[in-house]
Amino acid sequence: MNENMKQRVVITGMGIICPLGHSIAEMWDGILNGKSGMAETTIFDASTYPTKFCSEVKNYQLSKYTKNPDVHNHGNRHSQFAIGAVNQACTQAKIQFDTENPTDGIDRRRMGIYLGAGEGPVDSDIFFNSIVQGWDGNGTIDWQKWHAYSQSKMQAKAELEQEPNMPAAHVAVFTGARGPVRSCLTACAASTQAVGEALRILQLGQADVMIAGGAHSMIHPLGIMGFNRLTALSTRNDSPTTASRPFTESRDGFVIGEGAAIVILETLESAKKRGVQILAEVIGYGSSSDAFRVTDMHEDARGAVAAIEAALKDANLTNKDIDYVSTHGTSTSENDSIETKAIKTVFKEEAKNTPVSSIKSMMGHLIGAAGAAELISCVLAIRDGILPPTANYNDPDPQLDLDYVPNKPRKADIKIAMKESFGFGGQNNVVIIKRYEPGTTN
Amino acid sequence: MTVCITGLGAITPLGLSYKDLWSGICSGKSGISRIATFDPSSFKCQIAGQVPAFSIRDYVPKSIRKTTKLMSRDIEIAIVAANEAFKDAGISTKAFDEQNITINPKRSAIIFGANSISCDLLEIAPSIAKGVVDGKFDIRKWGTDSIETVTPLWLLKYLPNMLACHIGIIHDLQGPSNTITCAESAGLLAIGEAYQIILRGDAELALAGGGESKVNPIVHMRQSLLKRANDDSNDKPEEACRPFDENANGCIFGEAAACVVMEDEQRAKGRGAKVYATVAGFGQSCSLNTNYQALEADGKAVRYAIESALENAKIKPEEIDLIVPHGTAVVSDDIAEAAGIRAALGNAGQTISVLPTKSMVSNTGAGAGAIDVVTACCCMNEGLIPAAKNCTAVNKNCKLNIVKEPIKKKINYALCTTYTYGGQTAALILKNENI
């Protein structure tokens, strides 16, 4: 982007509700100790599905995070997660919520929201049984019967919550944000895109603070059916905790997770003025499209390479400057080999010296929320000087020969980290963050 | 830097081209009729804005025809609108002539508004019917006996980003790609984001707009339950949608896609492109209403969006000659939107000509804001504001100057506003290139 427009942007708060826990500390502890969020699916009865396990958020209580649960408790599963993650992130960034008269010094018209968020899961019971009621067995649905059943079962409020803009609606009401509020859904790349676009909104001077990240749950009968039909999910039902094994030879698909992950992005000027702690600086963003096929990634990783290169250029960096790559690393055959190819194409001789890893091996794939959750792990990696590992890395794919930080966290001096996310349809988004150093410019 | 709109495309209930949209609006035509794709007789609202018949195979290059089976209705209409916009801009993409491509694919973006795509119930019903025990759906039986009868690529038909992805593949757009999912504000927000992407130099060209089909049983049921759908006009569809009228009584839902080609000025001028309008400013905000489906009564979120667009455009309210509002005909929202417009524009808010379009094209969700931008571009280009339809007496609480008779005049600035259930609002100001 044009240099003369850029404002420096920093991260001043983080929050997460994910299968590894309901706080940043729990998540990080889980990652550093090789915990797994995977187990038998309990949200619905998946016992006869090809994939019978997933990575669920357990024991979540909305009322711990808002004093107005009535305003949010009809929200869909991930809207409720979003409130928990925003609560934590805002608390850290000293942004008030649940109040009509905030005194935190932030003009609400200069505070916005950008979420990569999913549509609410349909109420399966009503969805399936309305069709059963209407189906005449001869290829048509009797819409009068369908209507009678649906009319008696569907609830107006619950129906509204299925719309994909509702997580952002709840976050707005919770925080009072009146600035730019947007929501996007570019499949598995959505929340990295949301963070990148929020960065741009701040750089262009259109807001001082952006609440950015993702919220998504596709753990429902139609979602799992859809991914199973695409053969995208691991079917290692006998060993859920080792099923997500990115970059190994025996990888057989991703393990679906759910959750919400939020970062507070803020102009450096605003953060200094408010005197809040700066966790990292966001210095680059690149977005591209494969424009190849809706079913497959481009075989030469054309789009992924373009997004990584665009982010490096945006950050004024070269391929020598990146200390850690948080990969998309889904554990599908295609993603892991194309992503490795992309990294080798961009990083060339530096590729093997650049540690890369996938925390999806432990957390699972949070779909729209994945990128933001993994970006948070980059901030923590920089803070603590620890590379998060790729768990379950026991049988390396001989074709994939990068340093995947196998199985155990590793100490390293990490100044600059890159987060990559790729989505169905050829969506590629990359964000680069840096350890904050006062006084310097990027 | 200046961002120009150089191509228009639309497929709406008024026809398969933006020219049909424009001539339909100029002649006060209605695209609303009785629902044909399912038996609506039990529904409170039995009418909708429906796109005339077309075959998607006529709109995609031969190499893509096999892929058409992965296209839901929303994807199909988006592709038709995108094709027209590029052709109208005089741009040759891979889809039209592989030997003569006049865009730089890596510097070309697509930003599209879309919503959850309602699945085709008839398509999935046979599989669900196999999962029944004692007359009730049984998920274990479904898992065992019928999941594998669902078409393998089923999910890909219903991911909202697939509108942008298919268009990107057909025209080879390899730059930034985003799908905005802010319901009825999505189309205008996508155009606003594309404007910012060009402004900041991340692309030199963008296709931006939105598309959605709301003509399906689930959406109609949902909107009826939310009491947003009109229920008094099944026998007179042309008069059913009456934005800002004293007898307004709810939305009519429909299907449409619309988009614009946007380019940086240097590129547009360099190739001698016709410029319909330039983007003068963009603003957005959000309602904070715990009744999530409605605007706040004072329309504050609409007001804030317009105020920031004015500030961004550095113009005064009096300089605006035309407002194309969201105008759904939900009475409380009409009143709130009008209040927001008046609060932002002061005295000018009661005198500037206002042209709502949903009386003719219906409420097409993610397509809506993009239709309004295309309409405003046509008005500006022709120096003509057509008369509004179905607003014989303006609701006394709205106090807007709804256009009664067509007005011929030069339009220097036009304002498009939008809002949605869920709260996101936006305002875009277009500028006449020849001021």
| pLDDT tens digits for range A277-311 | 999 999 999 999 999 999 999 999 999 999 999 99
Query: How much is the pLDDT for A438?
Result: 87
C-alpha–C-alpha distance, residues A66 and A47, integer Å: 35
Contact A185 B181 (CB under 8 A): yes
Instruction: Report the largest interatomic distance among the alpha carbons of chain A, rounded to a whole angstrom.
Output: 73
C-alpha–C-alpha distance, residues A237 and A228, integer Å: 13
The distance of B402 to chain A (nearest Cα, Å) reads: 28
Query: How much is the pLDDT for B28?
Result: 98
Residues 306-365 of A with CB under 8 A from B: 306, 310
Is A397 in the B-facing interface, judged by CB distances under 8 Å? Answer: no
Catalytic residue among A216, A298, A365, A378: A365
The distance of B159 to chain A (nearest Cα, Å) reads: 7
Q: How many residues does chain B have?
A: 435
Contacts of A437 (CB under 8 A, 6+ apart): A281
Catalytic residue among A188, A216, A298, A378: A188
pLDDT by residue (tens digit) across A365-418?
Answer: 999 999 999 999 999 999 999 999 999 999 999 999 999 999 999 999 999 999
Size of interface A-B (CB pairs under 8 A): 292
Binned at pLDDT 50, 70 and 90, residue A5 comes out as low
Q: Which of B311, B314, B313, B308 is nearest to B285 (CA)?
A: B308
Residues 120-179 of B with CB under 8 A from A: 121-122, 124-126, 128-129, 131-132, 135-137, 139-144, 147-148, 150-156, 158-162, 164-166, 168-169, 171-179
Query: How much is the pLDDT for B326?
Result: 98
C-alpha–C-alpha distance, residues B291 and B294, integer Å: 6
Residue with tokens 């187990």: A39
Contact A291 B169 (CB under 8 A): yes
Write the DSSP symbol of residue A3: G
Is B101 in the A-facing interface, judged by CB distances under 8 Å? Answer: no
Judge whether A328 counts as a catalytic residue: yes
Is A176 in the B-facing interface, judged by CB distances under 8 Å? Answer: yes
The distance of A211 to chain B (nearest Cα, Å) reads: 14
Is A151 in the B-facing interface, judged by CB distances under 8 Å? Answer: yes
Judge whether A90 counts as a catalytic residue: no
Q: Give the gyration radius of chain A's Cα atoms.
A: 21
Q: Are A289 and B168 in contact (CB under 8 A)?
A: yes
SS3 sequence, chain B? CCEEEEEEEEEECCECCHHHHHHHHHCCCCCEEECCCCCCCCCCCCEEECCCCCCHHHHCCHHHHHHHHHCCHHHHHHHHHHHHHHHHCCCCCCCCCCCCCCCCHHHEEEEEECCCCCCCHHHHHHHHHCCEECCEECHHHHHHHHHHHCCCCHHHHCCCCHHHHHHHHHHCCCCCEEEECCHHHHHHHHHHHHHHHHHCCCCCEEEEEEEEECCCHHHHHHHHHCCCECCCCCCCHHHCCCCCECCCCCECEEEEEEEEEEEEHHHHHHCCCCCCEEEEEEEEEECCCCCCCCCCCCCHHHHHHHHHHHHHHCCCHHHEEEEECCCCCCHHHHHHHHHHHHHHHHHHHHCCEECCCHHHHCECHHHHHHHHHHHHHHHHHHCEECCCCCCCCECCCCCCEECCCCEECCCCEEEEEECCCCCEEEEEEEECCCC
Q: Are A259 and A81 in contact (CB under 8 A)?
A: yes
Write the DSSP symbol of residue A5: G
B68 phi/psi in degrees, rounded to 5: -60, -20
> Pick from A182, A221, A289: which is nearest to B424 by CB?
A182
Binned at pLDDT 50, 70 and 90, residue A441 comes out as low
Q: Which of A438, A435, A357, A436 is nearest to A402 (CA)?
A: A357
Query: How much is the pLDDT for A79?
Result: 98
Q: Are A13 and A23 in contact (CB under 8 A)?
A: no
Q: What is the ipTM of this complex?
A: 0.98
Query: How much is the pLDDT for A439?
Result: 74
Q: How far is CA B139 from the centre of its chain?
A: 37
- Among B45, B158, B174, pick the best mutation site for testing chain A contact (most A Cβ within 10 A): B174
Is B202 in the A-facing interface, judged by CB distances under 8 Å? Answer: yes
Is B36 in the A-facing interface, judged by CB distances under 8 Å? Answer: no
Exposure on the CB side of residue B144, measured as CA atoms within 13 A: 11
Q: Which of B404, B401, B399, B411 is nearest to B387 (CA)?
A: B404
Split chain B (435 residues) into runs of 10 and give each run's mean pLDDT. Answer: 97 98 98 97 98 97 94 98 98 97 98 94 95 96 94 96 98 98 98 97 97 96 96 98 98 98 97 98 98 98 98 98 98 98 98 98 98 98 98 97 98 98 98 95
- Among A184, A188, A305, pick the best mutation site for testing chain B contact (most B Cβ within 10 A): A184
Q: Which of B48, B167, B184, B173 is nearest to B113 (CA)?
A: B184
Query: How much is the pLDDT for B271?
Result: 97
Contact B42 A147 (CB under 8 A): yes
Structural tokens at position A15: 């929050």
Contact A144 B222 (CB under 8 A): no
Q: Are B94 and B171 in contact (CB under 8 A)?
A: yes
Q: Which of A149, A154, A153 is nearest to A132 (CA)?
A: A149
Is A85 in the B-facing interface, judged by CB distances under 8 Å? Answer: no
Given a cut of 80, is residue A442 above it in pLDDT?
no
The distance of B119 to chain A (nearest Cα, Å) reads: 11
Is B363 in the A-facing interface, judged by CB distances under 8 Å? Answer: no
C-alpha–C-alpha distance, residues B206 and A86, integer Å: 33
Binned at pLDDT 50, 70 and 90, residue A122 comes out as confident
> Pick from B125, B126, B284: which is nearest to A181 by CB?
B284
Query: How much is the pLDDT for A2?
Result: 58
Is B53 in the A-facing interface, judged by CB distances under 8 Å? Answer: no
Q: Give the gyration radius of chain B's Cα atoms.
A: 21
> Pick from A2, A294, A426: which is nearest to B70 by CB?
A294
Mean pLDDT of A184-194: 98
Structural tokens at position B202: 């991340």
Given a cut of 60, is residue A429 above it in pLDDT?
yes
Judge whether A188 counts as a catalytic residue: yes
